[in-house]
Structures are given as structure tokens and as C-alpha cells.
Amino acid sequence: MTFQPEVFPRKFSGSIRDHLKAEMWTKRFHMAVKFSKMDADDSLDLFKLWLNDDAAKWQNVTELEEDVSEWKLENWTKALEDKFGDKKNRNETFSCLLKWERKSMKHWKILIRDLQTIQRPLNRKFTLKSW
């Protein structure tokens, strides 16, 4: 395999510009992997290297919090689309967060992290009022 960076999409950052393009980015990444005839391990390593900023943070947190040892490129790209996909999905995530129950300090930390993650792309300011 000869690595050809010019056939790959630009690195994915997870920024507000990227949110509407997550599905397109993953499709182009898969096409570039196929075109380059990469094996599964190399394509997975390259996928992780091709993430920047919020997307790279998300990838790192996902590896720490979930058992991803058996994940393949398809699993990672699907998870990336779920996390950074179109606004409809982001609004559904926001609705789910409204239904959270407080149970333990760990739940609070996860809730705060999730709120901070979706606050930037939604461009909203919100606070936890009487809960």
C-alpha cells in the first residue's frame, strides 16, 4: 500500500462547519481507503489520525469509556456520524439530555461533558435550573 493523502478528505475536526458534513466525510474517507487498498488495521489507525480538535477528543473519550477493542472502521464512522451528524440528530440528543435523571456524581460529570459538547454547535446558552 502506498499512502496517498491527496485522495483523502481534509481532517475532520467536529467543528460547527463539519456538523452538516459528517456523513459526506465518512463516505469519502471509506472511498479513499478502498481506492488506496488499505488493510483494516491501517485504515483504522489513519481514521484516528485524521481527527482533530473536538472529534479527536470525542474519539479519545470514547476509547476510555467504552469497549471499542473489537470496533472496525465501520463502527467508528457510524459513531462519528451519530455524534457529529446533521442538526436533526443533534436536536434529538438535546431532547434526550432534557430527560436525564440525577443518580450519582459520575452521571453529573457525563451530563456536564455532554452539555458542553452540544452547546457549541447549537450555539445556545443554557443552564441547569431547578431540577
Dump pLDDT digits (tens) for 8-29.
888 888 877 665 588 888 999 9
- For residues 80 and 111, the answer to whether their CB atoms sit within 8 Å is no
**Coil vs helix vs strand at 101:** coil
Three-state DSSP class for 69?
coil
Quote the pLDDT of residue 6: 82
Does 33 share its domain with 61? yes
Give the percent of the chain with pLDDT over 90: 22
Cα distances (Å, whole numbers) of residue 38 to 41, 49, 65, 85: 8, 15, 28, 25
- The pLDDT value recorded for residue 71 is 92
When divided into structural domains, the chain yields a total of: 2
| Same domain assignment for residues 78 and 97 | no
The reply to whether 131 falls in a domain is no
* This model's pTM is above 0.75: no
Half-sphere exposure of 102 (CA within 13 A, CB side): 7
- On whether both 108 and 50 belong to a single domain, the answer is no
β-partners of residue 12 are 51
Per-residue b/e over 101-116, b at no fewer than 16 CB within 10 Å? Answer: eeeeeeeeeeeeeeee
128 within a domain of the structure (yes/no): no
Task: Please state, for a pLDDT cut of 70, what percent of the chain lies above it.
Answer: 65
Do residues 78 and 105 share a domain?
no
| Residue 91: per-residue pLDDT | 53
Residue 33 forms part of a structural domain: yes
**Quick one: 59 and 105 in the same domain?**
no
Question: Residue 104: which domain range?
Answer: 91-122
Burial zone of 35 (CB within 10 Å; 0-12 exposed, 13-18 middle, 19+ buried): exposed
Same domain, 97 and 114: yes
Nearest to residue 42, comparing CAs of 80, 12, 73?
A: 73
Whether 98 and 80 share a structural domain: no
Does residue 73 sit in the same domain as residue 115?
no
Does one domain contain both 52 and 73? yes
